[in-house]
Chains A and B, each alone.
Chain A
Amino acid sequence: MNKPRLFSSPSDRGHGFFARGLHSPSFVIGGLITLFFVALALLSFVWTPHDALSVNIADRLKPMSSTYWLGTDQYGHDLFSMIMLGARNSIAVALVAVGIGAGIGVPLGTWAAAKGGWMDESIMRLGDFIFAFPAIISAIMITALAGPGAINAIIAIGIFNIPVFARLSRGAALSLWTREFIFAARLSGKGSIRITIEHILPNIANLLIVQGTIQFSLGILAEAGLSYVGLGTQPPMPSWGQMLSEAQTWLMMAPQLAIIPGLAIILTVLGLNLLGDGLRDMLDPKIRSSLDIGGSKAS
């Protein structure tokens, strides 16, 4: 009798894993889009078509051409170069924010699951408290208190990510704690920290990776939102949200100034969400078993 497994076994991660990924359109499309923007961001460190930071009033508001691939803005900045730098900026902010969220949230969540009792209650209720504030409002609050800037935006988004990861890892860890191999580990005289590292974390890594991609896309959106209201990345460093907000004045004369950064945001978020969905389909045995032979239940 093949019980559907709650957590996939190591063989699922072998070479068959990516072969199966190629059959999942959302994984392929999402992966390609994400890869494209990551490549743009990395490339911006060594090369951009023009200096994105230099003002060139003579070439202001140029349309798309072979010199300026996506045209220029009101100061004559090359739009394509700005998009590249913006990608670097968005990805860096979102990545660090997810890192903060996972880095603090996962230990808190697994700790709550391991200890239980009042410790569990207080950690999770604190998480609920943070959750109760809409993400963008609390980010605005933090940046308003600590002053605008990329670092503060990172902290604001990161704090919002903590309860997300804490909840997820607590729930998954709790269901693992009742499993028999954990009992066996406890009988072997292992403490809860050691059990968490050896047994819990490797078995919830799948879930965390999927959640990570989703939080990553939310982080990019949040960063764009903060920069749009002027609380995120500060000029002259370009960011997508800030480009959008500056384009408002020129919306009638040069709509591409708003459309292009808008498209960049939409595409990145879409790509990451598709990637997350694709990964979840591949990692979640409940969905996967429906793709296999009829659940292969025969007893």
Chain B
Amino acid sequence: MTLLQLTNLSLSIAGKPILKDISFSLDAGQCLGLVGESGSGKSLTALSIMQLLPNRSSLVGSIDLVGDDLVGLSEQALCRRRGNVMGMIFQEPMTALNPLKTIGAQVEECIRLHASVTRHEAEELAIKQLQRVGLDTSRTSPDRFPHQLSGGQRQRAIIAMAIAMQPSLVIADEPTTALDVTSQAEILALLKELMLEDRSALILISHDLAVVADMADKIAIMKDGAIVEAGPLPALFNELNHPYSKGLFAASTHKPTRKKPPLFSDAPSLEQQKPILDAKKIVRSYPLPRSFPYLERSVTRAVDEVDLTIYQGQSVGLVGESGCGKSTLARTLLGLEKPQDGTVRIGRHDPYAAGKEDLLNVRKDIQIVFQDPNGSFNPRHKIGQSIAEPLHLYRNSLSRSERDARILASLEQVGLDASDAEKYPHEFSGGQRQRLALARALITKPKIIIADEPVSALDVSIRAQILDLFADLRDRLNLAYLFISHDLSVVRAITDEVMVMYRGKIVERGRTEDIFSAPQNAYTQTLMNAAPNLMDAIDKRQREQKDPPAK
């Protein structure tokens, strides 16, 4: 039975066309994956169905939900449907919940709006829904406020609100993008289970093909506000036609080609060499607020006795959940945050003990590329000025022409033009800005670059290009990388060795392929199992299709 039918839906906002001729249908209990890069119109398709569009938008076409056309329906009639027959799950659970209300009250509100029940009954129903999403009320009281919950728990509370009335359609807009890999796997499993229980249809919006490949019965790939290709899963992956969807698929499984074999720490060639970055037993702890004015402060160890060595030309990955201390470790290694204990050596020097002169030289050897391409550059400085900033380390020993030559060489190394130096950061796309960040890092001819989630904010196809650039620069300039990421597929694609960090400690280190194929540590195993993998997901789906699991 067709539950939702979109016919030639077109949306324009303030005269600017956003969606073009979107048509698809969805049966009860089915899951549709809506995939595309940022700006492709995925979210606005979802908001069109919910009729929660911004001002000055005009919608043409029809959205048929159980026999009613939602386009042009009165606000009152829409309010009866929102949260009742259709529910929505948002990307950022912190902003989707009201911080001033308890989670119990927020679920209850949704129930009382749509069902004629007493306050007491609504309260009981809300508790039941919270239990359904795995927020056991004996451990997670419904009287808690959103800030008292973890990211995964918050997302569960949002799901409880969305499914409270057992709607026939649930729209999940990037429901796991803001979460760690392990919580992502749990949330996806939960969604799957709930859809089965309620026989609801699910529209799952994601930029991650692997997530969709695992969950969806059907997939629609969007680009520039139009669906370029759609079909059933997993069959569609074998017969992709449109060049864009082929490209997207290729980029999702992309692995940069290596010109050199991976370099392992136990390689015989490294026996006489000194590591370029050598850290021993680093501890970085932060004081917690006192619970009582005269009590002693307790401390939290963000980085707990971490040992780390990286040799010239070696790229090492650092993976772990958010808050496990990855970024703190990076800042400590860079010489920006003095560790309480342990030593850091960059080349021959300890940045925390080096004299002024030595410190300048140390800093030339180690540079960083950040995650957020928007925040990496001062918006008021021209790119040339920003890129040349690390040349301050040379004080005044470089002449003007030498400076300019360095800027030009850096820009060329990352595939940009000399004319780009005269532009401002906002004139570049996210991918270009990440190239510029690399150009800035390269300008001092460093031996090692720390890359803190360098591709997390980028779209899949851009991500593939930037990874290629990283790999290419490593091979050409014999650079070493410390590649920090929560995205395991990225780390797998670029590193020789991987370290797994958990609660401030390194729990496992080894060759990348070994760690991925046969993780030893229990936490690493959980992490590996939770990470979505496109090829594995397709394999699993195809096997299931051949002999369907007994229901």
Listed in ascending order, the chain A residues whose CB lies under 8 Å from chain B are 1, 3, 5, 7-11, 179-181, 183-190, 198-199, 202-203, 293-299
Contacts and interface: CB of A to CB of B under 8 A. Distances in A.
Contact of B54 (A1, A180, A295): A295
Given A181-B386, A189-B393, A299-B43, A294 B14 contact: yes
Please list the 4 inter-chain residue pairs (A to B) with the smallest Cβ-Cβ separation, ordered nearest first: A294-B54, A180-B370, A299-B38, A9-B379
A184 B43 contact: no
B425 A9 contact: yes
Given A1-B39, A181-B377, A9 B424 contact: yes
A293 B54 CA distance: 8
Contacts of A299: 38-40, 42-43, 174
21 contacts: A1-B38, A5-B374, A9-B379, A10-B380, A10-B424, A11-B426, A181-B377, A181-B386, A183-B336, A187-B363, A187-B367, A188-B389, A190-B392, A198-B381, A199-B381, A294-B13, A294-B57, A295-B54, A296-B13, A297-B43, A298-B43
A181 B386 CA distance: 9
Given A1-B39, A180-B371, 10 more contacts: A9-B426, A11-B426, A183-B336, A184-B370, A187-B368, A188-B392, A190-B389, A199-B381, A202-B380, A297-B54
Interface residues of B, number: 46
B370 A293 contact: no
- With most chain B CB atoms within 10 A of its CB, the pick from A190, A202, A294 is A294
Contacts of A8: 379
A180 B426 CA distance: 15
Nearest to B205: A299
Contacts, number: 98
A261 B372 CA distance: 55
Contact of B368 (A184, A296, A297): A184
Interface string B357-377: 001100100011011101111
A187 B390 contact: yes
Contacts of B174: 299
B391 to A, nearest CB: 8
A293 B390 contact: no
A298 B360 contact: no
B336 A187 contact: yes
Contacts of B42: 299
Contact of B374 (A3, A188, A198, A293): A3
A191 to B, nearest CB: 10
A198 B382 CA distance: 12
Contacts of A202: 378, 380
A293 B363 contact: no
A7 B389 CA distance: 21
A190 B359 CA distance: 12
Contacts of B53: 294
Given A1-B38, A1-B39, A299-B42, A293 B379 contact: no
A293 B363 CA distance: 44
A189 B374 CA distance: 22
Given A181-B376, A183-B370, A293-B16, A189 B43 contact: no
Contact of B14 (A180, A183, A185, A293): A293
